[in-house]
């Protein structure tokens, strides 16, 4: 069996057709067909550019552009046409379809160019589009966070370090902490788009185009803000894709951390949230179960996205200068990571929006007196006791309280006086949850006023992101 015949892009110097199994192995149409919109846009711009360079007449360029429009329309309305194609890759597909329509005129379009620069250009265009889409999806999640923050503004929660009770927080402060991470992700996607925003066209196979091409005009026509500086670099470089994958991996890491908090909060031990039925599943065996599958799968899928980043790093490692066929391996991991991340973002946003935080349970958990131990040390420090000493004193008080089976709030003042003469009646005022929260009014702190201001600032940035992803 041999590979399908039809218009080949490189058949001339070959006596025999490729082996069918090898053809299946080397072709990329099954996945790079995803870049057909970019391919057709590139072809239209190329037709105009080589007309300007005197290779086509304006009338020929117009006929090519019109035929490409028809190809685009058919591709949209007739997916079976794409499914049935035996094309080697997306470039081959578009060229064959054009030649089928226009004959020899269609065969003129490839003048002065190489698939090496085309694939680099289209992949950059893809990254620019995909990162915009990802920014919109990040905005969806950030919006869900902003809404929950506003709804739950005054609810306290026990804050932890090392998973041990540390100091009280506002739940809204915890929500915005995750929100800030996602805002940074949106910025990272913008940065990877900016990195992709240089047009390689005119680089040829590796050495540059031999026709008088206006590269800058061509780049502008395709929505690029600049051209690549070196033809050899332009056909080898996949940094922009690595940057997008790094941004995706970081986003996935942030999603997995939110997921882990939610999984813990859904346990009976925490009991901080009620899982939404719509985004949970049950057990086939244990009738009582409601599982946090949405969050578990988000956490779980993070691994694939890291895998995609490392797959491309590994592909690029040690490649000699110029285009190498290995680079065809760049697309599948990025496409898959893009799809997974979008799905993860959408499910995270919807699940978070549908989650009910249990105020009563959060308030109860925040009453743990251990959470105000720092307040007692601060109190002593405010009376002039050196902080290191104050820390030591409070530690001893806590140990004594523990031995007596009391909380620090229950220690009578005369008992406390034995530890330090600095303890006074007003101590009880700092031992409250409200006081511990209110004292942290510094910008970025967890006091109610500071969190309200932070939410306002968060919303202002989010509105910009939603407006212009
Ligand atoms: N399918 C190829 C890829 O994705 C396109 C470039 C092929 N270039 C070549 N000289 N065979 O990288």
pLDDT digits (tens, 9 = 90+) for 119-165: 999 999 999 999 999 999 999 999 999 999 999 999 999 999 999 99
Distance 359 CA to ligand 1 centre (A): 57
State the average pLDDT over residues 253-268: 98
Pocket test for ligand 1, best of 36, 42, 89 (most atoms within 8 A of CB): 89
Nearest CA among 139, 137, 145 for reference residue 173: 145
| Stretch(es) of the chain classified as CATH 1.20.200.10 | 116-365
**Ligand 1 atom nearest 27 alpha carbon:** 1
Q: Ligand 1: list residues with CB < 6 Å.
A: 28, 32, 89, 115-116, 119, 325, 327-328
Instruction: Classify domain 21-111 by CATH number.
Output: 1.10.275.10
Give yes or no for a contact between 334 and 31, defined as CB atoms under 8 angstroms apart. no
pTM of the shown model? 0.95
Axis crossing angle, helix 331-354 with helix 293-316, rounded to the nearest 10: 160
Catalytic (active site) residue 283:
yes
Dump pLDDT digits (tens) for 78-114: 999 999 999 999 999 999 999 999 999 999 999 999 9
State the average pLDDT over residues 44-60: 98
Dump pLDDT digits (tens) for 365-413: 999 988 999 999 999 999 999 999 999 999 999 999 999 999 888 899 9
State the average pLDDT over residues 429-444: 95
Q: Is the pLDDT of residue 7 over 70?
A: no
> Among 12-21, 71-80, 82-91, which stretch is predicted with the lowest mean pLDDT?
12-21
Task: Single out the catalytic residue among 21, 30, 283, 428.
Answer: 283
> Among 166-175, 286-295, 356-365, which stretch is predicted with the lowest mean pLDDT?
286-295
**Ligand 1 atom nearest 327 alpha carbon:** 12
Pocket test for ligand 1, best of 115, 200, 234, 237 (most atoms within 8 A of CB): 115
Distance 201 CA to ligand 1 centre (A): 15
State the average pLDDT over residues 33-41: 98
> Among 1-5, 211-215, 248-252, which stretch is predicted with the lowest mean pLDDT?
1-5
Q: Is the pLDDT of residue 349 over 70?
A: yes
Neighbours of 457 (CB within 10 A): 13
pLDDT at 3: 47
State the average pLDDT over residues 347-371: 96
SS3 call for 23: helix
How does DSSP assign 227-284, residue by residue? E-S-HHHHHH--HHHHHHHHHHHHHHHHHHHHHHHHHHHTSTTT--EE--GGG-B--S
Give yes or no for a contact between 372 and 430, defined as CB atoms under 8 angstroms apart. yes
Q: Is the pLDDT of residue 322 over 50?
A: yes
Q: Is the pLDDT of residue 6 over 60?
A: no
Catalytic (active site) residue 407:
no
Give yes or no for a contact between 51 and 218, defined as CB atoms under 8 angstroms apart. no
| Stretch(es) of the chain classified as CATH 1.10.275.10 | 21-111
Instruction: Classify domain 116-365 by CATH number.
Output: 1.20.200.10
Q: Is the pLDDT of residue 290 over 90?
A: no
Distance 446 CA to ligand 1 centre (A): 54
State the average pLDDT over residues 415-436: 93
Distance 31 CA to ligand 1 centre (A): 13
pLDDT at 69: 98
Give residue 10's pLDDT band: very low, low, confident or very high (50, 70, 90).
confident
Mean residue pLDDT of the chain comes to 95
Task: Single out the catalytic residue among 162, 178, 192, 231.
Answer: 162
pLDDT at 408: 87
- Encode burial over 123-159: b for 16+ CB neighbours within 10 A, e otherwise: bbbbbbbbbeebbebbbbbbbbbbebbeebbebbbbb
Q: Is the pLDDT of residue 4 over 60?
A: no
Give residue 288's pLDDT band: very low, low, confident or very high (50, 70, 90).
confident
């Amino acid at each position: 069996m041999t590979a399908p015949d039809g218009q080949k892009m490189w058949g001339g110097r070959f006596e025999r057709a490729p082996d069918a199994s090898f053809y299946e192995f080397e072709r990329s149409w099954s996945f790079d067909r995803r870049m057909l919109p970019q391919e057709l846009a590139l072809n239209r711009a190329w037709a105009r550019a080589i007309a300007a360079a005197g290779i086509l007449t304006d009338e020929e360029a117009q006929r090519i552009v019109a035929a490409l429009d028809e190809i685009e329309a058919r591709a949209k309305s007739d997916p079976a046409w794409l499914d049935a194609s035996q094309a080697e890759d997306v470039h081959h597909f578009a060229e064959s379809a054009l030649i089928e329509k226009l004959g020899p005129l269609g065969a003129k379009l490839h003048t002065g160019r190489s698939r090496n620069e085309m694939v680099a250009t289209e992949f950059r265009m893809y990254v620019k589009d995909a990162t915009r889409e990802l920014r919109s999806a990040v905005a969806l999640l950030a919006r869900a966070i902003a809404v929950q923050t506003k709804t739950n503004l005054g609810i306290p929660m026990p804050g932890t370090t090392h998973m041990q009770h540390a100091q009280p927080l506002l739940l809204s402060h915890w929500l915005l902490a995750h929100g800030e991470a996602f805002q940074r992700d949106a910025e990272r996607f913008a940065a990877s788009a900016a990195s992709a925003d240089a047009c390689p066209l005119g680089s040829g196979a590796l050495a540059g185009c031999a026709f008088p091409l206006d590269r800058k005009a061509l780049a502008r026509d395709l929505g690029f803000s600049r051209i690549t500086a070196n033809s050899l670099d332009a056909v080898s470089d996949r940094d922009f894709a690595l940057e997008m994958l790094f941004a995706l991996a970081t986003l996935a890491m942030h999603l997995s951390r939110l997921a882990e908090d939610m999984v813990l909060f859904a346990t009976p031990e925490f009991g901080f949230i009620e899982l939404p039925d719509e985004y949970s599943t049950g057990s086939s065996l244990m009738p009582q179960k409601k599982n946090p599958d949405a969050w578990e799968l988000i956490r779980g899928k993070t691994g694939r996205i890291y895998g995609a980043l490392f797959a491309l790093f590994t592909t690029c490692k040690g490649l000699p200068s110029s285009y190498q066929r290995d680079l065809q391996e760049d697309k599948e991991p990025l496409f898959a990571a893009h799809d997974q991340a979008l799905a993860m973002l959408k499910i995270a946003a919807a699940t978070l929006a549908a989650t009910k935080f249990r105020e009563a349970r959060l308030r109860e958990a925040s009453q743990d007196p251990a959470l105000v131990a720092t307040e007692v040390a601060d109190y002593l420090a405010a009376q002039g006791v050196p902080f290191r000493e104050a820390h030591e004193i409070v530690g001893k008080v806590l140990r004594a309280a523990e031995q007596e089976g009391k909380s620090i709030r229950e220690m009578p003042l005369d008992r406390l006086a034995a530890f330090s003469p600095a303890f006074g009646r007003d101590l009880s005022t700092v031992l409250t949850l409200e006081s511990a929260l209110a004292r942290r009014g510094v910008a970025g702190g967890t006091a109610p006023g500071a969190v309200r201001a932070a939410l306002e600032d968060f919303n202002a940035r989010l509105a910009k992101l939603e407006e212009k992803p």
